[in-house]
Chains A and B, each alone.
Chain A
Amino acid sequence: DQQVKQNSPSLSVQEGRISILNCDYTNSMFDYFLWYKKYPAEGPTFLISISSIKDKNEDGRFTVFLNKSAKHLSLHIVPSQPGDSAVYFCAASARMGTGANNLFFGTGTRLTVIP
């Protein structure tokens, strides 16, 4: 049972425009959410995270929004650059509730930024 879902397997955006990647989750125990970026033949690279006590976290061109009532989060990249082209994974953990550190991942969205 996939507890974290990324329903768009791919997304293409023009350079300079906004990229919006979406993620939904089902487990209300999740209290910490992360976005990772992955290039082929490399491990995922941490991008940005958000705790469930917040609804927005910003880091440079990357902003993550969390809507707990809808169990939805999104990653905004503005402006998008060709180097942002990669697979983006959404992940969640239920650290406070369970004390466990494992991450539940979505299946990823492949972002292509067109120059």
Chain B
Amino acid sequence: KAGVTQTPRYLIKTRGQQVTLSCSPISGHRSVSWYQQTPGQGLQFLFEYFSETQRNKGNFPGRFSGRQFSNSRSEMNVSTLELGDSALYLCASSSDRLNNEQFFGPGTRLTVL
């Protein structure tokens, strides 16, 4: 099976702009979660989507949003970018069986100037 793919891999934006990141989960996986990784905070949960519905949300401002399509692909959007949004954004998919593992993509490195 192909793994989780994320596009683009690298992105440079300026403050105030908005950005959309994309994630394609492993075939058959219906749950997609997004995480932000920064040097100081480690990996922090943003939100999870399952069957096109946001099922769970972390403690991030409303500038961070997402959606999931019927084919389970997911997008994450950040509006009004701030310098502190510079991070590695990771997407993970899971089959949603009980006690399942999440499989991560390579991430999108976002730099905000």
Interface residues, chain A, CB within 8 Å of chain B?
Answer: 32, 34, 36, 41-46, 49, 51, 89, 91, 95-96, 100-108
**Interface residues as binary, B51-79 with A (CB distance below 8 Å gives 1, 0 otherwise):** 00001101000000000000000000000
By a beta-carbon cutoff of 8 Å, the part of chain B in contact with chain A is 4, 31, 33, 35, 41-45, 48, 50, 55-56, 58, 90, 92, 94, 96, 98-107
Of the listed residues A44, A89, A91, the one surrounded by the most CB atoms of chain B closer than 10 A to its CB is A44
Q: Bound complex: CA of A91 vs CA of B4, how far in Å?
A: 19
Min CB–CB distance B4 → chain A (angstroms): 7
- A94 CB to closest chain B CB, in angstroms? 11
The number of A-B residue pairs with CB atoms under 8 Å apart is 65
- For A45, list chain B residues within 8 Å (CB): 104
B35 CB to closest chain A CB (Å) equals 8
Residue of B nearest to A43 (CB): B104
Interface of B is mostly: strand
Measured CA separation A73–B59 after assembly (Å): 26
Tell me whether A43 and B105 are in contact in the complex, defined as CB-CB below 8 angstroms, given that A95-B98, A101-B94, A106-B42 are known contacts: yes
Residues of A within 8 A of B4 (CB): 43
Q: Which residues of A are found within 8 Å of B42, using beta-carbon distances? A: 89, 105-108
Partner of A32, one of B35, B58, B99: B99
- Identity of the chain A residue whose Cβ is nearest the Cβ of B9 in the assembled complex: A41
Q: How far is the CB of B98 from chain A (nearest CB, A)?
A: 7
The answer to whether A100 touches B55 (Cβ under 8 A) is yes
Which of B31, B45, B55, B105 neighbours the largest number of chain A CB atoms within 10 Å of its CB? B45
Which of A42, A102, A103 has the most chain B CB atoms closer than 10 A to its own CB? Answer: A102
User: Does the CB pair A102–B45 fall under 8 Å?
Assistant: yes
| Residue numbers in B under 8 Å from A102 (CB-CB) | 33, 45, 48, 56, 58
Q: How distant is the Cα of A49 from the Cα of B97 in the complex, in angstroms?
A: 14
B43 CB to nearest A CB, Å: 4
Q: List the B residue with the shortest CB-CB distance to A104.
A: B45
